[in-house]
A = this chain, B = another copy of it.
Amino acid sequence: MKLVNGAEYIESLRNLHPTIYYKGKKIGDVTRHPATAPHVRAAAMTYALANDKEYKDLATAVSHLTGRTISRFTHVHQNIEDLLKKVKLLRVLGQKTGTCFQRCVGYDGINATYSVAYEIDEKHGTGYLERFKKWLTWIQDENLMVVGAMTDPKGDRSKGPADQPDPDQYVHVVERRDDGLIIRGAKLHMTGAVNSHEILVMPTAAMDERSRDYAVVCAIPVDAPGVTMIFGRQASDDRRDRRERIDVGKPSFGAVGGESVIAFEDVFVPRERVFMDGETDFTGTLVYRFAAHHRANYGACKTGLMDVLTGAVSYLAQIQGTAGASHVKDKVTEMIHLCETLYSSSIACAAEGCPTPSGAYMVDTMLANVCKQNVTRFHFEVARLAVDLAGGFIATLPSQYDLESEEIGHLVEKYFSGTKGIPTKHRVKIARLIEAMTGGTALVESMHGAGSPQAQRVMIFREGQLDKKIRLAKALLGIPLKES
């Protein structure tokens, strides 16, 4: 691993020159711009843990390609233990950042591409896996951050890629040259894109024969010519942009991962960076594997966030003198219960993992989908309970400027004080943390990241083995399994 700690990671970003817009202006240095720096810091934590004695075992792995120690985020899962360690690593990172640390999407993209490249080669006699291993070895050795780029704009959702009035609503190959491809289109909601080194482009859905040009997997540097990023807005982002260290809630880290649009305006991709080109018969499998890995994560990283939130409301209840009330304890219990229910599915889908033909391990897809489906329900409910426990003042609290005002600061100090011995400022800070973690963007990301709720339901039904279940019922009743 070349980048051995957070500082080196941050330094490495300064050598890249991606084109990034935010609120109509270009961002020069993502590591210093107030809109992006918090997200850089969260990602830097993934580098930092690899050097922390306590977490090294979780945060690193031994490459099956080189035998060298690498960041786990660049590793291809070799067994169930790898899958379980991922879960535990993500929860710790959620606890330490209280936000999205952005590296899972590349991690899962690497794992999905690896196993599928193997299978394409087996069937079609192509040589994708060797190319991919070469690229991946470089990623592992340099310890680069990769953004997995899957979601296309999709335009009119009742039509597939090939039938769109605007052919660019899905990323596609517009020209094939001897030395590589020219691609065009865009990817939306790209978590961590602005502070990644590489983009791993993947198709967003299963495709048919007619969509050959849309069946493309390839790797592109973030600052390749023709790549433009537009960094999105988040709830209360001005507080972050103005560096309001109290009101922002999380002074060091972002609300969520920092999402961007990545537009590809006729970007050239050298042949050796292309890992699928036209094999539509494998698009479904690729998406399915990526999605399952990614859905499994949400019961890990989000439970880390919920741990922080549960701690925050418990602390606030102590300050407010309500920690002993039975309904308070019951609501805290419920927060923990929901959190651990989510964690169960992350652990379970790892424990029930199994190898693909390539040797790379997959999580149990049913349980991974169940995991994410519950996230789309329970995160809102946990937030609701936190808001209930915190009290209405998290929505009516005066600003930090008032708290620090010479004229009226004493009124804010006086009337927002709690238990003796805790400074009002601590109560205000914890309130702002809860506000930041329960409102808007944080929950929307949790709902839709790794696939919207209905996407999981489709998979759960599909994998539900209804035929087998019907046979079980019939067997109990002595009804013949085959009826006319």
Contacts and interface: CB of A to CB of B under 8 A. Distances in A.
Contacts of A412: 230, 261
A61 to B, nearest CB: 19
Contact of A411 (B24, B230, B314, B411): B230
A96 B440 CA distance: 23
A202 interface: no
Contacts of A259: 395-396
A315 B466 CA distance: 9
Interface stretch (A66-74, A284-292, A338-346): A338-346
Contacts of A238: 236, 238-239, 242
A374 B341 contact: yes
B473 A417 contact: no
Given A188-B396, A261-B412, A418-B156, A440 B473 contact: no
Interface stretch (A105-113, A124-132, A214-222, A402-410): A402-410
A391 B469 contact: no
Interface stretch (A2-10, A52-60, A114-122, A328-336): A328-336
A217 to B, nearest CB: 21
Interface string A387-409: 11001111111110110110110
Interface string A333-364: 10011001101110111111000000000000
A152 to B, nearest CB: 9
- What bracket does the count of chain A residues touching chain B fall in? 35 or more
Contacts of A231: 398
A153 interface: yes
B392 A337 contact: no
Contact of A474 (B315, B347, B414): B315
A449 interface: yes
Interface in A436-484: 438-441, 443-445, 447-449, 452-454, 457, 460-461, 464, 466, 468-479, 483-484
A310 interface: yes
Contacts of A263: 408, 411, 415
Interface stretch (A135-143, A174-182, A205-213, A365-373): A365-373
Given A326-B327, A337-B457, A433-B476, A232 B311 contact: no
Identical copies in the complex: 4
A147 to B, nearest CB: 13
29 contacts: A21-B405, A21-B407, A22-B402, A84-B351, A156-B418, A157-B322, A168-B414, A169-B415, A188-B393, A189-B393, A233-B397, A235-B236, A236-B237, A238-B242, A256-B395, A261-B396, A261-B411, A311-B471, A332-B466, A341-B370, A344-B348, A344-B367, A345-B348, A388-B447, A388-B453, A391-B448, A394-B444, A395-B444, A395-B445
A434 to B, nearest CB: 9
Contacts of A101: none
A444 B393 CA distance: 9
A483 B398 contact: no
A307 interface: yes
B399 A24 contact: yes
A193 to B, nearest CB: 11
Given A340-B366, A440-B438, A321 B387 contact: no
